[in-house]
Structure formats: C-alpha cells, structure tokens
Amino acid sequence: MHELELPRVDLQTGLHWLDLIGIVAFALSGALLAVRKRFDLFGVLVLGCVTAVGGGAIRDTLTGQTPPLFLRDESYLWAALLGSVLAFAFGERLARFERTISVFDTVGLGLFAASGALGAINFGLGPLGVIFTGALSGVGGGIIRDLIANEVPEVMYRRDQLYATAAAAGAFTVLLVHPYVTPFQAQASGAAVVILARWLSRRGWVRLPVRRLPGG
Amino acid sequence: MHELELPRVDLQTGLHWLDLIGIVAFALSGALLAVRKRFDLFGVLVLGCVTAVGGGAIRDTLTGQTPPLFLRDESYLWAALLGSVLAFAFGERLARFERTISVFDTVGLGLFAASGALGAINFGLGPLGVIFTGALSGVGGGIIRDLIANEVPEVMYRRDQLYATAAAAGAFTVLLVHPYVTPFQAQASGAAVVILARWLSRRGWVRLPVRRLPGG
Amino acid sequence: MHELELPRVDLQTGLHWLDLIGIVAFALSGALLAVRKRFDLFGVLVLGCVTAVGGGAIRDTLTGQTPPLFLRDESYLWAALLGSVLAFAFGERLARFERTISVFDTVGLGLFAASGALGAINFGLGPLGVIFTGALSGVGGGIIRDLIANEVPEVMYRRDQLYATAAAAGAFTVLLVHPYVTPFQAQASGAAVVILARWLSRRGWVRLPVRRLPGG
C-alpha cells in the first residue's frame, strides 16, 4: 500500500472544474426546491448556496480543515450563486428538465462522496471512518436542504432509488482502489460507481429491503 | 486599505454589552416560541440558549475559533439564561410586547451579522466568504430555533420582511467601510444598516421578488 | 481543588465498554425509529449511526477535539453499525422491549452527559460551559435523530419525563465531584444521577412546570 504522495490541496485540483459543476448542480436542486416553496429571492439564494456548500463543509469539519474549502476558495461560492440565480431566473424551464438536474446532482453526489473519502484517507482515518465521511460529504448538502425546507430528507425515504447507499459505495470504491492509482483516478472511479449505482437503481435493477413494525 | 490592527478579542470588547443585549433578545425569541409550543421549563431554557448562542457558534466554527466564544466567556451563557428565564416567567406579558422583542431581535441580528463579517475579514476570507459568514452568523440562531421547534425557518418564507437579506446587507456594509474606520465603527455601521433595512421592509418600502413554478 | 492528572484519552478508557453499550443503545433508538418510518436498510443504518455518534461529535467539536473520537476509534462506528443492524433484523421483537431499549438509552444519555462534562472541565471551560456541553453531548444524538426523521425533538415536549434536565443534572454532578474523585468515579457519578433522575421522573415523582400563553 503506497502512500498518497500529493499534498491535500492538490487532491482537489484535478477535478476542480467537475467539483464546480457538482456545486452548480447542488445549488440548482436547493434553489429549485426554494422556488417551489415560494421562498423569496434571497431565500432561494440561501437554500441554493447552503445545499451546494453543505457537503463540503461537513467533509472539511470532520477532517479538521478549518476554514472549510468553500470559504478559502471563493470560486465555490460564486458557482453556488450562479446555480441559484439560474434556478430563480429559469426555474419554470428547468422544472421540465428535472432529469438533467438529477444527472448533475448525481455527478455532485459522486464527486463529493469520493473527495470526502480521499480527504478521510489522507487524514489517516480507518475504513469505516472513510466510508462514513465520504457518504456524509455526498449526502450532507441534500440533508441540510431538506431540513431547512422542513421535509423528511429525501435520502431516507426514496427507497426506489439508491442515494446514500450509492454514496457509500463510491467511498468504498475509493478506499479499495486508492493504494493502486492516483488520487485523480481514485476520485473518478468513486464518482463513476456512484453514477452507475444510481442509474441501476433508477432502472429498478437494485433495491434495498424495508422492514415494517407490526402496526407501524 | 489599512490593516485591522486590533487583535480579535478587542474587536468584541467595544460592543460587548450590545452583544449581550442581542443575546438576551435572541434568547427571548427562542424561549417565547418554546413557551408557545408548551415545552417544559428546561425545554424553554434549552431553546432560548441555543437560539442565543447558535449564531455565534456558527461564526466561530467557520472562522476557526475553537472553542466558540460563548464557551470561553461565561457571560454569554448567563445572558442567554437570563433571557430564557424572563420569557418563562413573564411570557404572557411579553407576548403583548412582540414589537419590543422584535426590536431587540433586529439589534441582535445586526450585531451578529456585523461581528461575523468582521471575524471573517480578520480571518482573511474573500468578499463572498465575508458576506456568507456574516449573514449566517446573523440568522443562524433563528434557523436552529425553528429547526428544533419543527417550523419552516422564518427567515425563508416571510418575504414581507427582509431578514437574511438585511443581514447580508449589514455584512456587505462592514466589508465596504472596514478599511476606513475602526472595527467598532464598522460593526456599528453594519448593525445600523441591518436595522434600517428591517425597518424599511416592515414599512413595505422594500420587497423581494418571488418566483412560482407552474402548478407549484 | 486538585487538577485532573490523567491525559484526555485516558478519561475515556475506564468506561470505554460502557460507552460502547451506550452507543449501541442510541443506535437502536435511531434505527428503530427509522424502521417505523419505513426507511430502507441504508436509511436505517444511517439514522442509527448518526444518532449513536451525534452526541460525541457535538462534544468533540465544542471542546476542540478534531477529528471527533468516533472517527479516530473505529470501534465506535462498529458498535453503531451493530445496534443498527440488530434493530433492522429484530425490529419487531425489540419493539416489545421498548423499556429495555429505554434503559440502554438512559445509560447512554448519562455516560455521554458525564463524558461531555469531563471533556469540558478538562478543556478549561467555566461552570455554565461544562453543564451546557455535558447536556448537549447527552441529548445531541437524539435531537439530530428527531430532526432527520422530521419530528419535534422528543427532548423538548415529553415533559412527563425528564431528559435534557437529567443530562444537565448529571453534568452538574460531575462538576461538583470532579475535584475530589477520579475521572472514572466522576463519570460514573454523573451517569448514576442521570439514571436516577430519569427513573424518578418516570415514576411521576419529579415534574417540570409548563407555561402557556393566552390563546397559545
């Protein structure tokens, strides 16, 4: 098992642009929900930005990187603002393109799950810690979005589509492959597994069991 | 652009007493909501204290000051307790004085937004980071309050009154004036802008647009 | 007042196994709620784990210990997974044993409140900070659980049974006794007070007052 030789900041560089695309996508998902809930312009911007940066903030807090990356690198907040403004301006049109948004959302989920896993590996955490940090970095923004909008977090009840499970699978992939490939390749592999898992579950080829309590 | 010469702790000293007034006001708003929701005595104290210290905790976490100021300086928690006990003891009377409370709440919003912005500037963040940290420090306590009480955070849907927008405007003001004035003056200017924006919007002179999705 | 001579890590060692039992119990409470809400397998695991580690994460964040203990010591996440899997597998049977679960939950509440208080003392916080950190460490996991499941946090409205109050009483006990006893004894005393307070309130021997607003 050879070591991760690149310093932490370089881990991010390779996929920085894909990261920004993921942030725009997360911002769109949060801002569109706010538009639907009839929040005002600023509420839309806030929910969009918080959704976009939430996952990374969780990742950076858990792995001891203060301040979080989105405060150190302004391009993250600009990307989050861009996505939110787009959602406010073109919300009606984008609503018809929910599938397109969902694709971006999945890309963001994959990239953040993978970068969370890499950050945790880099920080020296054990395997469960890596998977936990990766999964939480991926789904964190969406959970915060749904909490603020007062909905049961989607990650929990949409059992017809893997979400947190896909993020955990991506983090697990990073954990498996990182000793043998570059960080860039590890992150890309993790993201690819997330996207594949989401696509398979959307097709109905993968399902998770549900338990009911008697009278529940 | 001359530098902020005062050390971080001194930034707080000037407006320390106004800070405490803001904390008492935030505590009152949280504790009164708890009284209305029929929480017991301790639930009232908890919701009051969490509302009062939440914004500062967010500010300090984002700007790498651990432990948060309210844990380092006990006067913050005493002020939060004081406001909560007042709300529990005199809740019925204070309910008639909701406007008075709202004035204190606005003062707190302004002071925390301004001190969050100053802390972020002091920490070397860029302009968007300063505005984000300032706005979140101002509104954070209220968001946590509404989450725990299971309501849609007021900051989001009360489009008839600026709230998060006012906090962001205050942080932006601090960002603009801080190179030319003392930290005390910067914080006071930021808080004044928040109070003015709130007052204007309450009069109906400032509104933010709302977007609806078709069928939304 | 003699000093706490043991290093921080050793504080945990003494009651490490009881800590793990508390984590299993918290995981059971979160995972069973998820089973009732018909979350899928992964949702059950996530809610169980987040409930189990949430309180400790709050404690470690407030007292500047990054990364949180549950990321440094994998046995915590394994215990959380164990409790969650048990809840998913045997949910129907355990539902009949809610009292048993509640006993474990109370043990966890007591141990985390006491360890949060010890951590805060060790970190040099003042008395209110110690009680606040202890109480929040005890109840934090349950609050996060109820937020994610979109319920009013139980800690707030179940005034028939002390919960947060019991946690605060336990933290206060640690604060009182820690100069005279070993950390192990202090933690055990704090946990015992929590368990006693919960038992007394369950019997209806201790109640907290509730205030109502007119028309509230």
Per-residue pLDDT of chain A (216 residues; tens, 9 = 90+): 344 443 444 444 456 776 787 788 889 888 888 887 777 787 888 889 988 988 888 888 888 777 788 888 888 999 999 999 988 888 766 655 566 667 777 888 888 899 899 889 988 888 999 999 998 888 888 888 877 777 766 655 555 567 788 899 999 999 999 999 988 889 889 999 998 988 888 777 766 666 655 544
Provide the pLDDT for residue B78.
93
Q: Could you report the average pLDDT of every consecutive run of 10 residues in chain C (216 residues)?
A: 41 62 84 80 85 86 79 89 89 63 78 89 90 89 79 59 84 94 88 90 73 52
- A48 alpha carbon, distance to own chain's centre: 13
Task: For residue A210, list its beta bridge partners.
Answer: C40
Answer whether residue B22 shows pLDDT above 90: no
- B127: cis peptide before it, omega within 30°? no
Q: What is the mean pLDDT of residues B63-90?
A: 86
What are the tens digits of pLDDT across the range A117-137? 988 998 888 899 999 999 888
CB contact under 8 Å between B63 and A68, yes or no, is: no
- Residues of C within an 8 Å Cβ radius of A: 32, 34-44, 46-47, 49, 61, 66-68, 70-72, 74, 77-78, 81, 88, 91-92, 95, 147-150
User: What's the whole-number average pLDDT of chain C?
Assistant: 79
Q: What is the mean pLDDT of residues B21-29?
A: 84
Provide the pLDDT for residue B4.
41
Provide the pLDDT for residue A203.
78
CB contact under 8 Å between C152 and B147, yes or no, is: no
Provide the pLDDT for residue C108.
80
Provide the pLDDT for residue A134.
92
Query: A110 is written with which tokens?
Result: 């994959």
Q: What is the mean pLDDT of residues B189-202?
A: 89
- Asked whether A198 and A161 are in contact (CB, 8 A), the reply is yes
Q: Any alpha helices (H) in chain A, and if so which ranges?
A: 8-13, 16-36, 41-62, 69-72, 74-96, 98-122, 127-148, 154-157, 164-177, 183-202
Provide the pLDDT for residue A109.
87
Task: For residue A40, list its beta bridge partners.
Answer: B210
- Residues of C within an 8 Å Cβ radius of B: 61-64, 66, 120, 123, 125-129, 132-133, 135, 143, 147, 150-153, 155-157, 159, 162, 164-165, 168, 208-214, 216
- Domain residue ranges of chain B, discontinuous segments joined by +: 8-202
Contacting subunits of B (3+ beta carbon pairs below 8 A): A, C
